[in-house]
Amino acid sequence: MRRQVVASNGSNAVARLIRNPTTGALTQPAGAAGYVSETGAGLCADGRALDSPLSVVVDPSGTSVYAAAGDSSAVARFVRAP
């Protein structure tokens, strides 16, 4: 399965999605496995440097994901296990 990441400026969060390679369907893990937010509110995991994330990129090796957050003036790094 391929993993996808989506940034949400309005919720100060990054969502994790898993794409089924056969059907193309996207699913999101439940709770903290599916979200990381600036404050860890609700069911999200607590993160840093996620105040108004604007873009997300995966490094060429596929081992890290970076989220640029405008209001944090920072870049958050997430380690991937492809």
Phi, psi (rounded to 5 degrees) for 77: -115, 135
Helix (H, G, I), strand (E, B), or coil: what is residue 31?
helix
- pTM for this predicted structure: 0.76
Predicted confidence (pLDDT) per residue in 5-47, tens digit: 666 667 888 888 888 889 989 899 998 888 888 988 888 899 9
What's the total number of domains in the chain? 1
**Residue pair 79/40 in contact by the 8 Å Cβ criterion:** no
User: Which domain does 38 fall in, by range?
Assistant: 2-79
**Per-residue pLDDT at 43:** 85
